[in-house]
């Protein structure tokens, strides 16, 4: 069972040691998701390599179904042992009968799909009445919480701020950022009632995450040293196990507070957990 008391930070630093800011974002995401219940059968929309489902549902029996359009990811998802079955499919044409799932779960996927409405419609179709739709996406506040955006905006350079955020949109292939109100309307058109929209990754953590992407060479204009250190080409030299242990040890401590920080009541965060119910 997902549990907010589990240490997702350590698990994800170990899995994503080569890109520690990715681990931080995803760990906060899982801590936020872990408050939810996931009635079975579960469909993982855009399951990718299955790692996130593996960490979230650790110790549970495999979840029911995962699908993804990308064969390479899907092969890893199938090999993860996390799914009873996996299919190659797109979100706008799901190969499942009406009303066949208790939960449609989608983690960090929908922001990458330009035309959202057919995917939401399909999610509504495959959910049984009362079934849950659970998704995490970057929020409507994502762009303006980036450290690079804030640095430009603080000196009145709004053109520079927009250009910065647009570079991030392009790099991450983000197509949209909807507010809770927009999610309510989008879901309603798909026959899903919005139950809650909860922000995660408060402003200070979002800014830290953005800056860390540069520090770890994840952004092209960042410092390249760590990217070089973690490069797969150097795997054979044997030192990366030490780097990995050190990342888990060091950031498991120093990022503990950011990992555990909630968005203050009435505030916004860079991530949004959207939960709906099939009408």
Ligand X SMILES: C[S@@+](CC[C@H](N)C(=O)[O-])C[C@H]1O[C@@H](n2cnc3c(N)ncnc32)[C@H](O)[C@@H]1O
Residues that bind ligand X (CB under 6 A): 45-48, 51-52, 68-70, 73, 90-91, 107-109, 112-113
Give the count of alpha carbons within 13 A of 255, CB side only. Answer: 28
Residue closer to ligand X (CB basis): 2 or 161: 2
- Minimum CB separation from ligand X for residue 192, in Å? 17
Q: What span, in angstroms and rounded, lies between the C-alpha atoms of 112 and 123? A: 16
Residue closer to ligand X (CB basis): 152 or 270: 270
Query: Looking at beta carbons, which residue is closest to ligand X?
Result: 48
Residue closer to ligand X (CB basis): 36 or 68: 68
Q: What span, in angstroms and rounded, lies between the C-alpha atoms of 133 and 125? A: 11
CB count in 10 Å sphere of residue 135: 24
The answer to whether residues 21 and 218 touch, using CB atoms and an 8 Å cutoff, is yes
Residue closer to ligand X (CB basis): 10 or 153: 10
First to last CA, the chain: 26
- Minimum CB separation from ligand X for residue 168, in Å? 14
- Minimum CB separation from ligand X for residue 80, in Å? 11
- Minimum CB separation from ligand X for residue 38, in Å? 14
Alpha helices in the chain (DSSP H): 8-15, 20-33, 51-56, 71-79, 117-126, 142-145, 147-154, 158-172, 180-189, 203-215, 225-229, 240-254, 256-260
Residue closer to ligand X (CB basis): 86 or 230: 86
- Minimum CB separation from ligand X for residue 161, in Å? 25
């Amino acid at each position: 069972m997902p549990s907010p008391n589990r240490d997702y930070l350590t698990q994800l630093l170990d899995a994503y040691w080569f890109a520690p800011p990715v681990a931080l974002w995803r760990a906060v995401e899982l801590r936020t998701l872990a408050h939810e219940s996931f009635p079975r059968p579960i469909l993982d929309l855009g399951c990718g390599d299955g790692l996130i489902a593996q960490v979230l549902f650790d110790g549970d029996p495999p979840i029911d179904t995962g699908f993804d359009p990308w064969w390479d990811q899907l092969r890893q998802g199938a090999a993860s042992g996390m799914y009873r079955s996996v299919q190659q499919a797109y979100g706008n044409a799901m190969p499942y009968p009406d009303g066949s799932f208790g939960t449609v779960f989608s983690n960090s996927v929908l922001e990458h799909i330009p035309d959202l409405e057919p995917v939401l419609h399909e999610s509504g179709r495959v959910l049984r009445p009362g079934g849950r739709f659970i998704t995490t996406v970057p929020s409507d506040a994502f762009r303006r919480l980036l450290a690079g955006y804030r640095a430009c905006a603080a000196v009145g350079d709004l053109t520079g701020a927009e250009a910065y955020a647009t570079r991030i949109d392009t790099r991450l292939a983000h197509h949209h950022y909807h507010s809770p109100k927009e999610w309510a309307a989008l879901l309603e058109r798909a026959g899903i009632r919005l139950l809650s929209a909860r922000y995660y990754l408060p402003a200070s953590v979002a800014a830290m995450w953005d800056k860390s992407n540069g520090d770890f060479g994840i952004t092209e204009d960042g410092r390249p040293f760590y990217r070089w250190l973690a490069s797969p080409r150097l795997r054979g030299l044997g030192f990366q196990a030490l780097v990995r242990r050190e990342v888990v040890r060091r950031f498991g401590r120093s990022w503990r507070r950011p990992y555990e920080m909630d968005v203050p009541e009435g505030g916004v965060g860079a991530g949004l957990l959207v939960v709906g119910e099939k009408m």
